[in-house]
Structure formats: C-alpha cells, structure tokens
Amino acid sequence: MQSDETLLHDRPGLLAQPQAAELKAENVVVRFGGLAAISEVSLTVRRHEVFGLIGPNGAGKTTLVNCLTGFQAPTSGRILLGREQTTGWSPDKFRKNGVARTFQAGRLFREMTVLENVEATAVGLGLGRRAAAERAMAMLDWIRLAAQANRIAGTLAYTDERRVGIARALILSPAFLLLDEPAAGMSDGECEDLVEWVATIPQRFDCGVLLIEHNMRVIMDVCARIHVLDGGRSLAEGSPREIQENPAVMAAYLGMEA
C-alpha cells in the first residue's frame, strides 16, 4: 500500500512523462485575421520556479498559454519542450508529455462529481479507474476537498471550483503547470491564500509553474521571474524588483494600479 504522499506526486512508470527542464516559446507570432495577438514573443518557463506572466486585458496572455499547450498553433515561431519541437501536437499530447493547464473560465465538468473531474485526467493519461480514483482522492485530500469528493462539480463554491481545476491539472505530477488567472473573481484575501498555496507547488511536485494574475502584490511576492506583455509584445522580463523599477512597465500600468 502506497502512502498518500507518494500517490500525490510520484509518476507511475507506465506513464513516465518526459521530464523536460524547460518549456520555451521562441519568436512566437499569432495573428487572428489582421490582428496580431502575439508578436515575436520569446520566453522560458523553468522547472522548480514560479514564472509570472502579466499584462493588461487583451495583452495576449491567454493566447500565449494556448500556444504553449497546443490549443493554438503559432502563425510563426515555435514551442519547445526541452529539446523537442512540438509542432502539430494536440492538447492531449501536450498533457501526456507533462504540460498541464487551467482555464480562465474554470471549465469544470459541471455535471460530474468532483472526484470524477480529477480522475478524468488520470484516466486520460492511461490509468485504470481504480488507480485513478485512488490518486484523485489523495489529491483531493491534499487540497482539503476530500469532503466534497462526491459532490456535483457545478454546485461548488467559486474558490473550491478553482482549486478543483488546479487539482485536475496537477494530478500525476506534470512537468509544467500553466495557471490562467486562477484567482480571477476572488477577494484579495482569497487570492493571497490561493497564490501562497500555488507557490508551494514547484517544490512539492517537482514542476515549473506559469502564473497569470492581475494582483501585482501577490505576483511580486511569489514569482522568481516575471514577463510583461502589452498589446501582444514583450515589454520586459526580469526579477520582481527589476520589473517594479522598469519605466516602460510603470507606464503601461499607470492608471491600472489604483
């Protein structure tokens, strides 16, 4: 019998997901008709760190995450997972290779139970139902939602919904976890709690986290490096301190940070 702790973050042999050290965007361009949603953006998410991606509404953050997870093919440029070219990979292939994500809109399987929501990914990765349920339960225990395991996901409180979304992405320990505004719509206090919890993920799960979040204070607190997008272009990248002192960033955020 394995302990709950190993169930939480070991990777069963049969689904050993390649453990790349970096997830990289190189000169990515995305055009929707005439509109350039992303122009020549390059960035690297590393294992074991929280990488912040910030920018005003419509800056292209979600579009970039879509590129990094196979939901959007770049018009030009490429996505590399370790040394591997990912051109033509489907989203499920990205997940099978250890790149997991959540959605700004939550997107839980609303008519299914909380347990089934988390189980679905484990089953998608190749586990049988019993093993998947066992791991999903360990995950729910860890995020303290075990008591809600048999509840229909659509009836959860908003903050719990967000955490189930993260659990669903985190099961079977991906190499990279991309969180698209996991705290959207939460109060400042709830947001801080959630992000502090997110900050423990890289060590515990041996993965890299890309975090999109509008609350500057928490972003500055937990990120090792931050990348700033504005109008689809890279504005700056650096440590929280460098970003705070960057005049271009200050200009872009003037008026946003009231």
x/- contact string, 63-92, with ligand ATP (CB under 6 A)?
x-----------------------------
203 binds ligand ATP (CB under 6 A): no
x/- contact string, 137-176, with another protein (CB under 8 A)?
x--------xxxxxx----------------xx-------
Residue length of the chain: 258
Residue of 223, 218, 251 whose CA lies nearest to 237: 223
CA distance 246 to 25: 23
* Strands in the chain per DSSP E: 22-32, 35-46, 50-54, 76-81, 84-85, 99-101, 176-180, 208-212, 225-230, 233-238
107 binds another protein (CB under 8 A): yes
- 47 vs 10, 88, 178, 232, CA distance in Å? 16, 24, 12, 25
State which of residues 13, 14, 33, 111 lies at the interface with another protein (CB under 8 A): 111
CB of 40 to another protein, least distance (A): 26
CA atoms within 13 A on the CB side of 25: 29
State which of residues 55, 70, 174, 208 lies at the interface with ligand ATP (CB under 6 A): 55
Which residues in this chain contact Mg ion in the complex, by CB under 5 A?
62, 104
3-state secondary structure of 116: helix
* Interacting residues with another protein (CB under 8 A): 69, 71, 90-92, 95-96, 100-101, 103, 107-113, 115-117, 119-121, 123-125, 127-130, 132-134, 137, 146-151, 168-169
